[in-house]
Copies of this chain bind each other. A is one copy, B any other.
Amino acid sequence: MNVLSAVKRMLVGRRLANTQLGETLLPKRIALPVFASDALSSVAYAPDEILITLSLAGMAGFMFSWQVGLAVGVVIAVVVMSYRQTVHAYPSGGGDYEVAKVNLGRHAGLTVASALLVDYVLTVAVSVSAGVINAKAMFPFLEGYEAVTAAVVIALLMIVNLRGVRESGGAFALPTYVFMGSMLSMIGIGLFRIFVLGQDLMSETADLTVVRPDGAEEVAGWALIAILARAFSSGCAALTGVEAISNGVPAFKPPKSRNAARVLAMLGALAITMLLGIITLANLTRVHLIDELTGTHYIDAAGQTIHSAATTVTGQLARVVFMDWFAPGFYVVITATMLILFLAANTAFNGFPALASILAKDAYLPRQLHSRGDRLAFSNGIVALAVSAIVLVLVFNASVTALIQLYVVGVFISFTLGQIGMIRHWTVALRDEDEPAKKSRMKRSRIINIVGASLTGLVLIVVLVSKFTHGAYLALVAMGAMYALMLAISNHYRAVEEEVALTSDSDRALPSRVRSVVLVQRVNLPTAKAIAFARATRPTTLTAVAVAIDDEQVERILDEWEAEDFGIPLKVISSPYREITGPFIKFVSELRTENPRDVVSVYIPEYVVGHWWEQLLHNQTALLIRTRLHFMTGVMVTSVPYQLRSSGARRDRARKATETRVRR
């Protein structure tokens, strides 16, 4: 990399994604949209899920939307306050994973990691599904094809990410601000029209009555409480994405922690405002949202079963607020919602390499994911992420309601473990701290985290109880599988590390001499190069070895060898069964046995080719021999590459595959 391109790289825009571990620093006005998109996008579907779940209690259910929304708002507030402690205490950006690992041990850390990995997949599945459902408001022909459309969108995101296009801050900022602006405008204008102008805005589902699956009008007692609990659990999906800021602290401008905490606060305020605003407006405009897959259905005033095209709360509110006043507003809201949801999915694709890098550093994933050299490994991860999300979307038919059941449990597992970790963090810090002012601040932080842990723990229990049979068990199974896999990888790396550790007992004897052997298959340029390189190392002995598989070939090699006069002897090994590998290995093995204190260096000419099919035609015997020699102690194998003309193109491809790409 020359100076010019290094400078160019530095000047290239803002190369950040949500979970970037700090190359270019963000001012708060860029950081907010970068980190908020993930969190705010979940506000796009949380109200829907609340209402849909409440509809299971019939018309009466909708009356509880206030309370449920408020409860979710409280949780948001508490979680935000708790995370403000985390960003101060762990400015390195490890997030819940680091907090749990450092304070509660590797198993807690691994649990959080498993939950995070599974949630990446669900983020993609849920966000894209929600985006498609919102799109239906503008493109009604998508009806019936939601799952396929979602799968196609995920595939497109996968392709975009495989090409390595990274999101720049600008790509985030605009759609997020438009989303925030249009949603807040929608809420504001809606409330203005109702309360100031006194208009009677009714949503398109206002006149429809919801009939419960079993037909009964109402439900009460434990059944009602169960439904409220489920609605609350679904509504807590609004919290997904809040933790992203704790992962991204190093990306902020100094003072990093304080800026991160401020953005967290802004985010919390925005989320609560938008959530409660939408629910309020939904109540006032009598939005009755159902999902017919849950068994509920609409009947009209005449008692006829009716089918409404209304799909989301946002869609209904935007229509009733804007359509007669300023129609473009409707389209802006829907489009911005769609975009922010797809952006949130894209964030998952970008976040994966960063998370994988952290986990690989701790030896829970293959080590090459820690460094960025191997784009192929990350590509595999991106493909795995996309395929898993597509499978989920197809299996659950892009139903956000169904997917949410899996989504929330992972989020709250990592919240709770993170909070408990923070409690322990403050406890340990208090032991070593003497200054009273600091101590009291720590105690205050600890109280906040205790409240946070209790609340998220309670929510986790509610989520588990209310959603286990509805799909949460699937998420737990997936988390368990990831946990087991990462543990196995970690144990493997530990075992190997022990095996290869340099200890006082290790054999540090230096071999005395080097005996070199050059494999001769034909007398040509690659062989001549191998002999020349081998001679340059001035070994103690240098022997060229050819294996005779038929007489014609041996004659030719001997003639050509004499003509060339390489100055070293050519040993011809007979091979009655026309094998090259066996006799050659035997020769090297005998050389080792005769000279146990020396090291044998085997030189093998290798053709460097341009196309994949050329690989089938060359180097096969060389590969076999190298593989067999690898199992022999005291032997090293040297490839002497000879670059064929066709290899030029592949050289460039190989360089591109191992360099990180940057988009302006």
Q: B-contacting residues of A (Cβ < 8 Å)?
A: 1, 23, 357, 361, 366-368, 370-374, 377, 489, 492-493, 496-497, 499-502, 506, 508-514, 523-526, 528, 532-533, 535-539, 549-550, 560, 564, 575, 577-582, 586, 599, 601, 603, 606-608, 614, 616-618, 620-621, 624, 626-631, 633, 635-645, 647, 650-651, 654-655, 658-660
CA distance A525 to B368 in the complex (A): 20
CA distance A374 to B581 in the complex (A): 8
Q: How many copies does the complex hold?
A: 2
CA distance A617 to B494 in the complex (A): 12
Contact A535-B564, Cβ < 8 Å, known A614-B492, A647-B631? no
A535 touching B510 by the CB < 8 A rule? yes
* Top 6 A-B residue pairs of the complex, sorted by shortest distance between their CB atoms: A373-B581, A631-B651, A368-B620, A638-B638, A630-B641, A500-B524
6 pairs of residues in contact across A and B, judged by CB atoms under 8 Å: A371-B580, A372-B578, A493-B617, A506-B525, A533-B636, A635-B641
B525 touching A658 by the CB < 8 A rule? no
B550 touching A532 by the CB < 8 A rule? no
Chain B positions within 8 Å of A617 at CB level? 366-367, 489, 492-493
Min CB–CB distance A323 → chain B (angstroms): 50
CA distance A377 to B619 in the complex (A): 13
CA distance A650 to B643 in the complex (A): 31
B586 touching A1 by the CB < 8 A rule? yes
Chain B positions within 8 Å of A637 at CB level? 638-639, 641
Closest to A524 in B: B500
A502 touching B528 by the CB < 8 A rule? yes
Contact A628-B577, Cβ < 8 Å, known A614-B492, A638-B637? no
B524 touching A502 by the CB < 8 A rule? yes
A500 touching B642 by the CB < 8 A rule? yes
Chain B positions within 8 Å of A621 at CB level? 367-368, 371, 373-374
Min CB–CB distance A498 → chain B (angstroms): 10
B638 touching A601 by the CB < 8 A rule? yes
Contact A620-B377, Cβ < 8 Å, known A508-B528, A525-B502, A631-B643? yes
Contact A644-B564, Cβ < 8 Å, known A533-B636, A627-B654, A651-B631? no
Chain B positions within 8 Å of A577 at CB level? 23, 372, 660
Chain B positions within 8 Å of A618 at CB level? 367, 496
Contact A640-B636, Cβ < 8 Å, known A528-B506, A533-B599, A621-B374? yes
Chain B positions within 8 Å of A641 at CB level? 629-631, 635-637
CA distance A642 to B635 in the complex (A): 10
Chain B positions within 8 Å of A643 at CB level? 630-631, 633
CA distance A23 to B575 in the complex (A): 13
Chain B positions within 8 Å of A496 at CB level? 607, 618, 644
Chain B positions within 8 Å of A550 at CB level? 361
A549 touching B371 by the CB < 8 A rule? yes
Contact A616-B366, Cβ < 8 Å, known A621-B374, A636-B638? yes
CA distance A520 to B499 in the complex (A): 17
B374 touching A624 by the CB < 8 A rule? yes
CA distance A660 to B630 in the complex (A): 20
B374 touching A620 by the CB < 8 A rule? yes
Chain B positions within 8 Å of A608 at CB level? 630-631
Contact A536-B510, Cβ < 8 Å, known A636-B639, A659-B582? yes
Choose from B537, B579, B642, B644 the contact partner of A601 (Cβ within 8 Å). B537
A1 touching B489 by the CB < 8 A rule? no
B628 touching A658 by the CB < 8 A rule? yes
Contact A620-B366, Cβ < 8 Å, known A513-B536, A549-B371, A550-B361? yes
Min CB–CB distance A374 → chain B (angstroms): 6
Min CB–CB distance A347 → chain B (angstroms): 20
CA distance A496 to B613 in the complex (A): 14
Choose from B371, B512, B524, B620 the contact partner of A536 (Cβ within 8 Å). B512
Contact A579-B371, Cβ < 8 Å, known A361-B550, A524-B501, A525-B501? yes
Chain B positions within 8 Å of A499 at CB level? 525, 644-645
A538 touching B538 by the CB < 8 A rule? yes
CA distance A74 to B501 in the complex (A): 79
Chain B positions within 8 Å of A535 at CB level? 510
Chain B positions within 8 Å of A524 at CB level? 497, 500-502
Closest to A639 in B: B637
CA distance A631 to B649 in the complex (A): 10
Min CB–CB distance A378 → chain B (angstroms): 12
A374-B581, A500-B607, A628-B655 given. 18 additional CB < 8 A pairs? A371-B581, A371-B621, A373-B581, A374-B621, A492-B617, A497-B524, A502-B560, A510-B532, A537-B539, A538-B538, A577-B660, A579-B660, A582-B658, A601-B638, A624-B658, A630-B641, A633-B643, A637-B638
Closest to A631 in B: B651
CA distance A323 to B525 in the complex (A): 73
CA distance A603 to B582 in the complex (A): 26
Chain B positions within 8 Å of A506 at CB level? 525, 528
Residue among A510, A535, A631, A650 with most chain B CB within 10 A? A631
CA distance A168 to B393 in the complex (A): 57
Choose from B514, B620, B624, B629 the contact partner of A537 (Cβ within 8 Å). B514
CA distance A603 to B617 in the complex (A): 27
Chain B positions within 8 Å of A636 at CB level? 533, 603, 638-641
A654 touching B631 by the CB < 8 A rule? yes
Chain B positions within 8 Å of A645 at CB level? 499
CA distance A526 to B506 in the complex (A): 11
Contact A630-B638, Cβ < 8 Å, known A374-B620, A506-B525? no
CA distance A346 to B203 in the complex (A): 77
Choose from B1, B361, B526, B580 the contact partner of A500 (Cβ within 8 Å). B526
CA distance A658 to B549 in the complex (A): 15
B580 touching A536 by the CB < 8 A rule? no
CA distance A349 to B109 in the complex (A): 56
A372 touching B631 by the CB < 8 A rule? no
Closest to A369 in B: B620
Residue among A512, A586, A641 with most chain B CB within 10 A? A641
